[in-house]
Amino acid sequence: MSSITRPLAAAAAETGPRSGVRWRIFGIVFLLVTLNLVDRTALSIAMPTIAKEFDLSPTLQGVLLSAFFWSYAALQIPGGWLIDRFGPRRLITGATVLWGLFQTLAAFATGGLSLLLTRVGLGAAEAPLFPSGARLSADWLAPGERGRGAVLMDSGGPLGAAFGGVVIASLILTFGSWRTAFLIAGLATMAVGFVAWRYLRDDPATHPGVNAAELAHIRGEGSTSRVADVAAVPEAIAPRSVAGLLAGRMGWAMINFGLLTWGPSYLVQARHFDLKQIGYSTFVIFLCGMAGSLFAGFTADALINRGYARAGVYKAMLAVSGSATLVSFLVLPQVADPVGAIAVLSTTLFFLYWGSLYWSLPALLAPRGKIGLLGGVMNCAGSVSGVAVPIITGALLQATGAYGAVLAFFAACAGLYILGTLMIAFPRKAAETV
One DSSP character per residue, 47-86 reads HHHHHHHHT--HHHHHHHHHHHHHHHHHTHHHHHHHHHHH
Query: What pLDDT shows up at residue 103?
Result: 94
DSSP state of 17: S
Under 8 Å between Cβ of 328 and 344: yes
What's the length of the chain? 434
Exposed (0-12), middle (13-18) or buried (19+): which is 286, by Cβ within 10 Å?
Answer: buried
Cβ density class 84-113: b for 16+ within 10 Å, e for less: beebbbbbbbbbbbbbbbbbbbbbebeebe
What distance lies between CA 406 and its chain's CA centroid?
Answer: 23
C-beta of residue 154 within 8 angstroms of C-beta of residue 32: no
Please list, in sequence order, all residues whose beta carbon lies within 8 angstroms of the beta carbon of residue 83, skipping any fewer than 6 positions away.
91, 128, 131, 132, 135, 372, 375, 376
**What does the alpha-carbon distance between residue 256 and residue 254 come to, in Å, rounded to a whole number?**
6
Residues 393-421, buried b or exposed e (16+ Cβ, 10 A)?
Answer: bbebbeeeeebebbbebbbebbebbbebb
Residue of 146, 305, 313, 308 lying closest to 226 (CA atoms): 305
Q: What is the C-alpha separation between 370 and 81, in angstroms, rounded? A: 8
Identify the pLDDT of residue 128. Answer: 87
Q: Domain 5-431 has what CATH class?
A: mainly alpha
Angstrom distances, CA of residue 391 to CA of 48, 133, 145? 16, 29, 38
**How many Cα neighbours within 13 Å face the side chain of 251?**
27
Contact 384, 75 (CB under 8 A): no
Write down the pLDDT at residue 227.
47
Determine the 3-state secondary structure of 433 from DSSP.
strand
Q: For the chain, what are the domain ranges?
A: 5-431
Residue 99's pLDDT is 92
Helix %, strand %, coil % of the chain (to 5): 80, 0, 15
What's residue 222's pLDDT?
53
Q: Dihedral through CA 186, CA 192, CA 198, CA 201, nearest 10?
A: -100
Q: Which residues of the chain have pLDDT under 70?
A: 1-16, 221-235, 428-434
pTM above 0.75?
no
**Terminal Cα-to-Cα distance of the chain (whole angstroms):** 16
Residue 16 has a pLDDT of 65
Q: How many CB atoms lie within 10 A of CB 21?
A: 20
